[in-house]
Amino acid sequence: MNPDLSLLQPYPFEKLRRLFEGITPPAALKPIRLSIGEPRHPAPTFIGETLAASLAGLALYPGTQGTPELRTAISAWLSRRYALPTIDPARQVLPVNGTREALFAIAQCVVDRSRAGAKVVCPNPFYQIYEGAALLAGAEPVFINNLPADGFTSDFSAIPPATWREVQLVYVCSPGNPTGRVLRLDEWKTLFELSDRYDFVIAADECYAELYFDDAAPPLGALEAAQQLGRDDYRNLVAFFSLSKRSNVPGLRSGFVAGDAGILQNFLLYRTYQGCQMSPVVQAASAAAWQDEAHVRENRRLYRDKFARITPLLAPHLGVAVPDAGFYLWAQTPSTLSDTDFARRLQTEYNVTLLPGSFLAREANGINPGNGFVRIALVDGMDECVEAAERIIALCQKL
Ligand SMILES: Cc1ncc(COP(=O)(O)O)c(C=O)c1O
Protein backbone atom coordinates (compact mmCIF):
# COMPACT_ATOMS: atom_id res chain seq x y z
CA MET A 1 0.00 0.00 0.00
CA ASN A 2 1.04 3.59 -0.57
CA PRO A 3 2.38 4.62 2.86
CA ASP A 4 1.21 8.21 2.30
CA LEU A 5 -2.39 6.98 2.69
CA SER A 6 -1.71 6.71 6.41
CA LEU A 7 -1.13 10.48 6.49
CA LEU A 8 -4.73 11.22 5.49
CA GLN A 9 -7.03 12.43 8.26
CA PRO A 10 -10.62 11.20 8.53
CA TYR A 11 -12.85 13.51 6.49
CA PRO A 12 -14.75 16.13 8.60
CA PHE A 13 -18.05 14.29 8.13
CA GLU A 14 -16.49 11.09 9.50
CA LYS A 15 -15.29 13.12 12.52
CA LEU A 16 -18.83 14.45 12.85
CA ARG A 17 -20.28 10.93 12.76
CA ARG A 18 -17.93 9.95 15.61
CA LEU A 19 -18.76 13.13 17.57
CA PHE A 20 -22.46 12.24 17.40
CA GLU A 21 -22.03 8.55 18.26
CA GLY A 22 -24.55 7.44 20.85
CA ILE A 23 -26.72 10.58 20.48
CA THR A 24 -30.48 10.22 20.01
CA PRO A 25 -31.82 13.63 18.96
CA PRO A 26 -35.38 14.50 20.05
CA ALA A 27 -37.70 12.69 17.64
CA ALA A 28 -40.33 15.42 17.98
CA LEU A 29 -38.03 17.91 16.25
CA LYS A 30 -37.58 17.56 12.52
CA PRO A 31 -33.87 17.11 11.70
CA ILE A 32 -32.27 20.15 10.04
CA ARG A 33 -28.89 19.51 8.47
CA LEU A 34 -26.79 22.60 7.77
CA SER A 35 -23.46 20.82 8.08
CA ILE A 36 -22.71 19.77 4.53
CA GLY A 37 -22.19 22.29 1.72
CA GLU A 38 -24.63 20.52 -0.56
CA PRO A 39 -26.86 22.91 -2.51
CA ARG A 40 -30.55 22.09 -2.11
CA HIS A 41 -32.24 24.73 -4.24
CA PRO A 42 -33.94 23.12 -7.24
CA ALA A 43 -31.77 22.49 -10.28
CA PRO A 44 -33.05 24.32 -13.38
CA THR A 45 -35.28 22.05 -15.45
CA PHE A 46 -33.50 22.89 -18.70
CA ILE A 47 -30.36 21.11 -17.44
CA GLY A 48 -32.30 17.86 -16.97
CA GLU A 49 -33.99 18.34 -20.33
CA THR A 50 -30.65 18.85 -22.05
CA LEU A 51 -29.30 15.71 -20.38
CA ALA A 52 -32.30 13.74 -21.63
CA ALA A 53 -31.97 15.17 -25.13
CA SER A 54 -28.27 14.26 -25.27
CA LEU A 55 -28.45 10.57 -24.37
CA ALA A 56 -27.08 9.57 -27.77
CA GLY A 57 -23.75 10.71 -26.32
CA LEU A 58 -23.70 7.57 -24.16
CA ALA A 59 -22.55 5.67 -27.25
CA LEU A 60 -19.34 7.70 -27.51
CA TYR A 61 -16.01 7.72 -25.71
CA PRO A 62 -15.44 11.36 -24.82
CA GLY A 63 -12.13 13.14 -25.35
CA THR A 64 -10.30 14.39 -22.25
CA GLN A 65 -10.14 17.91 -23.61
CA GLY A 66 -13.93 18.17 -23.94
CA THR A 67 -16.01 19.26 -26.90
CA PRO A 68 -15.31 22.58 -28.66
CA GLU A 69 -18.95 23.51 -27.85
CA LEU A 70 -18.38 23.17 -24.12
CA ARG A 71 -15.00 24.90 -24.14
CA THR A 72 -16.43 27.76 -26.20
CA ALA A 73 -19.41 28.13 -23.84
CA ILE A 74 -17.00 28.23 -20.89
CA SER A 75 -14.65 30.79 -22.42
CA ALA A 76 -17.64 32.96 -23.39
CA TRP A 77 -18.87 32.77 -19.78
CA LEU A 78 -15.42 33.70 -18.46
CA SER A 79 -15.26 36.67 -20.82
CA ARG A 80 -18.72 37.87 -19.74
CA ARG A 81 -18.21 37.30 -16.04
CA TYR A 82 -14.70 38.73 -15.72
CA ALA A 83 -14.36 40.96 -18.78
CA LEU A 84 -11.49 38.77 -20.03
CA PRO A 85 -10.64 39.44 -23.65
CA THR A 86 -8.09 36.70 -24.09
CA ILE A 87 -9.29 33.26 -23.01
CA ASP A 88 -8.52 30.74 -25.75
CA PRO A 89 -11.02 27.85 -25.55
CA ALA A 90 -8.54 25.48 -27.21
CA ARG A 91 -5.58 26.07 -24.89
CA GLN A 92 -6.74 27.80 -21.74
CA VAL A 93 -9.85 25.86 -20.71
CA LEU A 94 -10.25 22.24 -19.62
CA PRO A 95 -13.50 20.65 -18.40
CA VAL A 96 -13.29 18.60 -15.18
CA ASN A 97 -15.68 16.31 -13.36
CA GLY A 98 -16.37 18.77 -10.57
CA THR A 99 -13.59 20.77 -8.97
CA ARG A 100 -12.92 18.26 -6.20
CA GLU A 101 -11.16 15.74 -8.41
CA ALA A 102 -9.36 18.50 -10.31
CA LEU A 103 -8.11 20.24 -7.15
CA PHE A 104 -6.69 16.89 -6.10
CA ALA A 105 -5.26 16.08 -9.52
CA ILE A 106 -3.51 19.42 -10.01
CA ALA A 107 -1.14 18.69 -7.11
CA GLN A 108 -0.26 15.29 -8.62
CA CYS A 109 0.48 17.05 -11.91
CA VAL A 110 2.41 20.05 -10.54
CA VAL A 111 4.51 18.77 -7.63
CA ASP A 112 8.06 17.73 -8.51
CA ARG A 113 8.95 15.03 -5.97
CA SER A 114 12.60 15.09 -6.99
CA ARG A 115 12.98 18.53 -5.40
CA ALA A 116 13.73 18.24 -1.69
CA GLY A 117 11.21 19.54 0.83
CA ALA A 118 8.27 20.00 -1.57
CA LYS A 119 5.66 22.21 0.06
CA VAL A 120 2.06 23.16 -0.75
CA VAL A 121 0.50 26.23 0.89
CA CYS A 122 -3.14 26.01 2.02
CA PRO A 123 -5.44 28.43 3.82
CA ASN A 124 -6.48 27.32 7.30
CA PRO A 125 -9.42 26.54 7.73
CA PHE A 126 -9.64 24.99 4.31
CA TYR A 127 -11.41 22.63 1.91
CA GLN A 128 -10.00 19.27 2.94
CA ILE A 129 -9.00 18.10 -0.52
CA TYR A 130 -6.01 20.50 -0.58
CA GLU A 131 -4.28 18.71 2.27
CA GLY A 132 -4.91 15.20 0.93
CA ALA A 133 -3.76 16.27 -2.53
CA ALA A 134 -0.51 17.68 -1.12
CA LEU A 135 0.21 14.62 1.00
CA LEU A 136 -0.45 12.14 -1.80
CA ALA A 137 1.75 14.20 -4.12
CA GLY A 138 4.57 13.69 -1.60
CA ALA A 139 4.51 17.30 -0.40
CA GLU A 140 4.15 18.85 3.03
CA PRO A 141 1.18 21.17 3.56
CA VAL A 142 2.00 24.62 4.97
CA PHE A 143 -1.03 26.23 6.59
CA ILE A 144 -1.74 29.97 6.74
CA ASN A 145 -4.14 30.75 9.55
CA ASN A 146 -7.19 32.84 8.58
CA LEU A 147 -8.16 34.55 11.82
CA PRO A 148 -11.02 36.92 12.74
CA ALA A 149 -8.58 39.59 13.98
CA ASP A 150 -7.18 39.87 10.44
CA GLY A 151 -10.59 39.71 8.75
CA PHE A 152 -9.77 36.10 7.73
CA THR A 153 -7.02 37.18 5.34
CA SER A 154 -4.07 34.95 4.42
CA ASP A 155 -0.93 36.79 5.50
CA PHE A 156 1.48 35.56 2.83
CA SER A 157 4.25 37.74 4.28
CA ALA A 158 4.28 35.51 7.37
CA ILE A 159 5.90 32.70 5.34
CA PRO A 160 9.70 33.04 5.44
CA PRO A 161 11.74 33.09 2.19
CA ALA A 162 13.38 29.72 3.04
CA THR A 163 9.92 28.13 3.05
CA TRP A 164 8.78 29.94 -0.10
CA ARG A 165 11.79 28.51 -1.94
CA GLU A 166 10.36 25.02 -1.34
CA VAL A 167 6.75 25.90 -2.16
CA GLN A 168 5.57 24.43 -5.46
CA LEU A 169 1.84 25.02 -5.25
CA VAL A 170 -0.45 27.47 -3.40
CA TYR A 171 -4.15 26.78 -2.98
CA VAL A 172 -6.31 29.88 -2.66
CA CYS A 173 -10.04 29.66 -1.96
CA SER A 174 -11.93 32.82 -2.89
CA PRO A 175 -14.75 33.17 -1.96
CA GLY A 176 -13.47 31.12 0.94
CA ASN A 177 -14.95 27.96 2.35
CA PRO A 178 -15.77 28.37 5.21
CA THR A 179 -15.00 32.07 5.83
CA GLY A 180 -16.72 33.48 2.72
CA ARG A 181 -13.89 35.96 2.27
CA VAL A 182 -12.95 37.27 -1.19
CA LEU A 183 -9.33 38.18 -1.99
CA ARG A 184 -8.68 41.83 -2.90
CA LEU A 185 -6.62 42.94 -5.88
CA ASP A 186 -3.64 43.91 -3.69
CA GLU A 187 -3.61 40.41 -2.16
CA TRP A 188 -3.54 38.82 -5.61
CA LYS A 189 -0.74 41.22 -6.56
CA THR A 190 1.34 40.10 -3.57
CA LEU A 191 0.74 36.46 -4.43
CA PHE A 192 1.56 36.91 -8.12
CA GLU A 193 4.82 38.68 -7.20
CA LEU A 194 5.73 35.83 -4.85
CA SER A 195 4.89 33.33 -7.59
CA ASP A 196 7.18 35.20 -10.01
CA ARG A 197 9.97 35.24 -7.44
CA TYR A 198 9.70 31.63 -6.23
CA ASP A 199 8.12 30.01 -9.28
CA PHE A 200 5.14 28.21 -7.78
CA VAL A 201 1.73 27.47 -9.29
CA ILE A 202 -1.41 29.11 -7.87
CA ALA A 203 -4.55 26.97 -7.83
CA ALA A 204 -7.45 29.39 -7.29
CA ASP A 205 -10.53 27.53 -6.10
CA GLU A 206 -13.48 29.73 -7.08
CA CYS A 207 -16.32 27.27 -6.84
CA TYR A 208 -18.42 29.81 -4.85
CA ALA A 209 -17.70 32.67 -7.27
CA GLU A 210 -21.32 32.94 -8.40
CA LEU A 211 -22.93 33.11 -4.95
CA TYR A 212 -22.78 36.77 -3.97
CA PHE A 213 -25.25 39.27 -2.64
CA ASP A 214 -25.21 42.28 -4.91
CA ASP A 215 -25.90 41.40 -8.55
CA ALA A 216 -24.16 44.62 -9.55
CA ALA A 217 -20.94 43.82 -7.63
CA PRO A 218 -19.67 40.31 -8.41
CA PRO A 219 -16.56 39.29 -6.45
CA LEU A 220 -13.16 39.79 -8.05
CA GLY A 221 -11.79 36.61 -9.64
CA ALA A 222 -8.21 35.35 -9.88
CA LEU A 223 -8.07 35.52 -13.69
CA GLU A 224 -9.69 38.95 -13.57
CA ALA A 225 -7.07 40.12 -11.06
CA ALA A 226 -4.30 38.77 -13.28
CA GLN A 227 -5.79 40.52 -16.28
CA GLN A 228 -6.09 43.82 -14.40
CA LEU A 229 -2.45 43.53 -13.38
CA GLY A 230 -1.35 43.03 -16.98
CA ARG A 231 -0.74 39.29 -16.69
CA ASP A 232 -2.85 38.32 -19.66
CA ASP A 233 -1.00 35.03 -20.14
CA TYR A 234 -2.22 34.08 -16.61
CA ARG A 235 1.27 32.71 -15.98
CA ASN A 236 1.49 30.21 -13.14
CA LEU A 237 -2.24 30.60 -12.43
CA VAL A 238 -5.05 28.08 -12.86
CA ALA A 239 -8.57 28.80 -11.61
CA PHE A 240 -11.21 26.18 -10.78
CA PHE A 241 -14.95 26.72 -11.35
CA SER A 242 -17.93 24.50 -10.75
CA LEU A 243 -21.57 24.17 -11.71
CA SER A 244 -22.35 22.43 -8.40
CA LYS A 245 -23.16 25.56 -6.39
CA ARG A 246 -23.80 27.96 -9.28
CA SER A 247 -26.50 25.81 -10.87
CA ASN A 248 -27.48 23.50 -7.97
CA VAL A 249 -26.26 20.36 -9.71
CA PRO A 250 -23.67 18.78 -7.38
CA GLY A 251 -24.59 15.37 -8.79
CA LEU A 252 -23.79 16.42 -12.36
CA ARG A 253 -20.05 16.51 -11.53
CA SER A 254 -19.12 19.36 -13.79
CA GLY A 255 -16.62 22.16 -13.60
CA PHE A 256 -13.61 23.49 -15.44
CA VAL A 257 -10.08 24.75 -15.01
CA ALA A 258 -8.82 27.83 -16.86
CA GLY A 259 -5.62 29.81 -16.99
CA ASP A 260 -1.94 29.27 -17.88
CA ALA A 261 -1.86 27.36 -21.20
CA GLY A 262 1.46 25.65 -20.37
CA ILE A 263 0.15 24.23 -17.11
CA LEU A 264 -3.08 23.15 -18.77
CA GLN A 265 -1.15 21.35 -21.50
CA ASN A 266 0.60 19.28 -18.82
CA PHE A 267 -2.65 18.87 -16.91
CA LEU A 268 -4.31 17.53 -20.07
CA LEU A 269 -1.48 15.00 -20.45
CA TYR A 270 -1.87 13.95 -16.81
CA ARG A 271 -5.66 13.68 -17.15
CA THR A 272 -5.41 11.58 -20.31
CA TYR A 273 -3.75 8.88 -18.22
CA GLN A 274 -5.93 9.37 -15.19
CA GLY A 275 -8.90 8.68 -17.49
CA CYS A 276 -11.28 11.29 -16.20
CA GLN A 277 -13.15 12.39 -19.32
CA MET A 278 -16.50 14.06 -18.87
CA SER A 279 -19.47 12.17 -20.34
CA PRO A 280 -20.73 13.75 -23.59
CA VAL A 281 -24.18 13.87 -21.99
CA VAL A 282 -22.86 15.92 -19.08
CA GLN A 283 -20.83 18.09 -21.46
CA ALA A 284 -23.97 19.03 -23.40
CA ALA A 285 -25.89 19.91 -20.23
CA SER A 286 -22.89 21.85 -18.90
CA ALA A 287 -22.59 23.94 -22.06
CA ALA A 288 -26.28 24.85 -21.70
CA ALA A 289 -25.81 25.72 -18.01
CA TRP A 290 -22.82 28.03 -18.61
CA GLN A 291 -24.85 29.89 -21.23
CA ASP A 292 -27.74 30.73 -18.92
CA GLU A 293 -27.65 33.41 -16.23
CA ALA A 294 -31.35 33.68 -15.30
CA HIS A 295 -31.28 30.62 -13.03
CA VAL A 296 -28.07 31.85 -11.37
CA ARG A 297 -29.62 35.22 -10.55
CA GLU A 298 -32.60 33.43 -9.00
CA ASN A 299 -30.24 31.20 -7.02
CA ARG A 300 -28.44 34.26 -5.67
CA ARG A 301 -31.75 35.83 -4.69
CA LEU A 302 -32.67 32.78 -2.59
CA TYR A 303 -29.34 32.93 -0.70
CA ARG A 304 -29.49 36.72 -0.35
CA ASP A 305 -32.93 36.48 1.27
CA LYS A 306 -31.75 33.79 3.69
CA PHE A 307 -28.63 35.69 4.76
CA ALA A 308 -30.70 38.86 5.21
CA ARG A 309 -33.17 37.04 7.46
CA ILE A 310 -30.91 34.66 9.42
CA THR A 311 -27.83 36.78 10.14
CA PRO A 312 -29.63 39.45 12.26
CA LEU A 313 -31.46 36.69 14.16
CA LEU A 314 -28.18 35.02 15.14
CA ALA A 315 -26.01 38.11 15.59
CA PRO A 316 -27.05 38.86 19.22
CA HIS A 317 -26.07 35.29 20.19
CA LEU A 318 -23.12 34.21 18.00
CA GLY A 319 -20.25 36.16 16.49
CA VAL A 320 -21.58 36.26 12.96
CA ALA A 321 -21.67 38.57 9.94
CA VAL A 322 -22.80 38.30 6.32
CA PRO A 323 -19.74 37.04 4.40
CA ASP A 324 -18.35 38.58 1.20
CA ALA A 325 -19.86 35.67 -0.75
CA GLY A 326 -20.72 31.96 -0.62
CA PHE A 327 -23.42 30.15 1.36
CA TYR A 328 -21.76 29.68 4.76
CA LEU A 329 -22.03 31.57 8.00
CA TRP A 330 -18.71 31.15 9.83
CA ALA A 331 -20.02 31.75 13.32
CA GLN A 332 -18.17 32.17 16.60
CA THR A 333 -19.74 30.05 19.35
CA PRO A 334 -20.36 31.40 22.87
CA SER A 335 -17.12 31.30 24.87
CA THR A 336 -18.56 28.87 27.42
CA LEU A 337 -18.63 25.99 24.92
CA SER A 338 -16.07 24.60 22.48
CA ASP A 339 -17.19 24.28 18.86
CA THR A 340 -17.47 20.48 19.21
CA ASP A 341 -19.51 20.73 22.45
CA PHE A 342 -21.75 23.36 20.85
CA ALA A 343 -22.37 21.15 17.81
CA ARG A 344 -22.94 18.10 20.02
CA ARG A 345 -25.45 19.85 22.26
CA LEU A 346 -27.28 21.34 19.29
CA GLN A 347 -27.58 17.88 17.80
CA THR A 348 -28.54 16.23 21.09
CA GLU A 349 -31.07 18.79 22.27
CA TYR A 350 -32.34 20.40 19.05
CA ASN A 351 -31.71 18.01 16.15
CA VAL A 352 -29.79 20.66 14.18
CA THR A 353 -26.53 19.58 12.56
CA LEU A 354 -23.67 22.06 12.13
CA LEU A 355 -20.00 21.41 11.44
CA PRO A 356 -17.48 22.26 14.18
CA GLY A 357 -14.88 24.65 12.82
CA SER A 358 -11.95 22.74 14.30
CA PHE A 359 -12.79 19.83 11.95
CA LEU A 360 -12.04 22.11 8.99
CA ALA A 361 -8.67 23.36 10.22
CA ARG A 362 -5.32 22.13 11.51
CA GLU A 363 -3.19 23.43 14.31
CA ALA A 364 -0.59 25.81 12.89
CA ASN A 365 1.63 28.17 14.92
CA GLY A 366 0.02 26.73 18.05
CA ILE A 367 -3.52 27.67 16.96
CA ASN A 368 -6.39 25.75 15.42
CA PRO A 369 -8.17 28.71 13.77
CA GLY A 370 -11.40 26.71 13.55
CA ASN A 371 -11.63 26.37 17.33
CA GLY A 372 -14.65 28.21 18.64
CA PHE A 373 -16.35 28.42 15.23
CA VAL A 374 -19.14 26.48 13.60
CA ARG A 375 -19.91 26.40 9.90
CA ILE A 376 -23.58 26.93 9.12
CA ALA A 377 -24.43 26.12 5.50
CA LEU A 378 -27.59 28.02 4.57
CA VAL A 379 -28.52 25.40 2.01
CA ASP A 380 -31.95 24.37 3.23
CA GLY A 381 -35.20 26.27 2.55
CA MET A 382 -35.95 29.60 4.24
CA ASP A 383 -38.37 28.04 6.76
CA GLU A 384 -35.89 25.36 7.79
CA CYS A 385 -33.07 27.90 8.13
CA VAL A 386 -35.25 30.18 10.30
CA GLU A 387 -36.32 27.18 12.40
CA ALA A 388 -32.66 26.16 12.81
CA ALA A 389 -31.73 29.71 13.84
CA GLU A 390 -34.49 29.69 16.48
CA ARG A 391 -33.21 26.41 17.89
CA ILE A 392 -29.61 27.71 17.90
CA ILE A 393 -30.82 30.78 19.80
CA ALA A 394 -32.68 28.55 22.30
CA LEU A 395 -29.41 26.70 23.01
CA CYS A 396 -27.46 29.96 23.37
CA GLN A 397 -30.03 31.26 25.83
CA LYS A 398 -29.55 28.19 28.02
CA LEU A 399 -25.77 28.73 28.29
C1 LIG B 1 -14.10 25.17 -1.50
C2 LIG B 1 -14.62 24.05 -2.32
N3 LIG B 1 -13.96 23.71 -3.42
C4 LIG B 1 -14.38 22.70 -4.21
C5 LIG B 1 -15.51 21.97 -3.88
C6 LIG B 1 -15.91 20.83 -4.77
O7 LIG B 1 -17.03 21.09 -5.49
P8 LIG B 1 -17.39 20.26 -6.81
O9 LIG B 1 -16.48 19.07 -6.86
O10 LIG B 1 -18.80 19.88 -6.65
O11 LIG B 1 -17.13 21.19 -7.95
C12 LIG B 1 -16.24 22.29 -2.74
C13 LIG B 1 -17.44 21.51 -2.39
O14 LIG B 1 -18.08 21.68 -1.40
C15 LIG B 1 -15.78 23.36 -1.93
O16 LIG B 1 -16.43 23.72 -0.83
Q: Give 30 Cα–ligand 1 centroid separation in angstroms.
A: 27
Q: Find the Cα–Cα–Cα–Cα dihedral 250, 246, 263, 67, rounded to 10°.
A: 80
Give 194-260 as a DSSP string: HHHHH--EEEEE-TTTT-BS-TTSPPP-HHHHHHHTT-TT-TTEEEEEEHHHHTT-TTT--EEEEE-
Q: Give 163 Cα–ligand 1 centroid separation in angstroms.
A: 28
Counted domains in the chain:
2
Q: Is residue 288 part of a domain?
A: yes
Q: Out of 292, 326, 357, pick the residue that ends a domain.
A: 292
Which of 244, 286, 360 is the best mutation target for the ligand 1 pocket, counting ligand atoms within 8 Å of the beta carbon and taking the most?
244
Of all residues in the chain, what percent carry a pLDDT higher than 90? 98
- Asked if residue 287 and residue 311 are part of one domain, the reply reads no
Q: Is residue 313 part of a domain?
A: yes
Q: What is the pLDDT of residue 86?
A: 79
- Asked if residue 116 and residue 231 are part of one domain, the reply reads yes
Determine the atom of ligand 1 nearest the C-alpha atom of 101: 9
Arithmetic mean of pLDDT, 96-106: 98
- Asked if residue 353 and residue 281 are part of one domain, the reply reads no
Q: Give 207 Cα–ligand 1 centroid separation in angstroms.
A: 6
How far is the CA of 27 from the CAs of 78, 340, 386, 398, in angstroms?
47, 22, 19, 20
Give the mean pLDDT of the chain: 97
Q: Give 367 Cα–ligand 1 centroid separation in angstroms.
A: 25
Determine if ligand 1 sits within 6 Å of the CB of residue 100.
yes
Per-residue confidence band for 99, with pLDDT thresholds at 50, 70 and 90:
very high
Q: Out of 265, 292, 319, pick the residue that ends a domain.
A: 292
- Asked if residue 241 and residue 351 are part of one domain, the reply reads no
Determine the atom of ligand 1 nearest the C-alpha atom of 243: 11
188 has a pLDDT exceeding 90:
yes
Q: Give 232 Cα–ligand 1 centroid separation in angstroms.
A: 26
Closest residue to atom 13 of ligand 1, CA basis:
37
Determine if ligand 1 sits within 6 Å of the CB of residue 258.
no
Q: Give 99 Cα–ligand 1 centroid separation in angstroms.
A: 6
Q: Is residue 53 part of a domain?
A: no
- Asked if residue 359 and residue 275 are part of one domain, the reply reads no
Q: What is the pLDDT of residue 19?
A: 97
Determine if ligand 1 sits within 6 Å of the CB of residue 311.
no
Q: Out of 271, 292, 313, pick the residue that ends a domain.
A: 292
- Asked if residue 322 and residue 219 are part of one domain, the reply reads no
Angle subtended by helix axes 339-350 and 12-19, to nearest 10:
60
- Asked if residue 66 and residue 24 are part of one domain, the reply reads no
Q: What is the pLDDT of residue 363?
A: 97
CATH number for position 21: 3.90.1150.10
Whole-angstrom distance, CA of residue 321 vs CA of residue 325:
11
Per-residue confidence band for 146, with pLDDT thresholds at 50, 70 and 90:
very high
Which of 36, 74, 100 is the best mutation target for the ligand 1 pocket, counting ligand atoms within 8 Å of the beta carbon and taking the most?
100
Q: What is the pLDDT of residue 44?
A: 97
pLDDT in tens, 384-399: 999 999 999 999 999 8
Q: Is residue 55 part of a domain?
A: no
- Asked if residue 318 and residue 258 are part of one domain, the reply reads no
Q: Is residue 166 part of a domain?
A: yes
335 has a pLDDT exceeding 90:
no
Determine if ligand 1 sits within 6 Å of the CB of residue 220.
no
Cα of 35 vs its chain's centroid, Å: 15
Q: Is residue 175 part of a domain?
A: yes
Q: Is residue 49 part of a domain?
A: no
Determine if ligand 1 sits within 6 Å of the CB of residue 372.
no
124: containing domain: 60-292
Q: Is residue 48 part of a domain?
A: no
- Asked if residue 85 and residue 10 are part of one domain, the reply reads no
How far is the CA of 361 from the CAs of 3, 144, 318, 372, 374, in angstroms?
23, 10, 20, 11, 11
CATH number for position 262: 3.40.640.10
- Return the higher-pLDDT residue of 86 and 89: 89
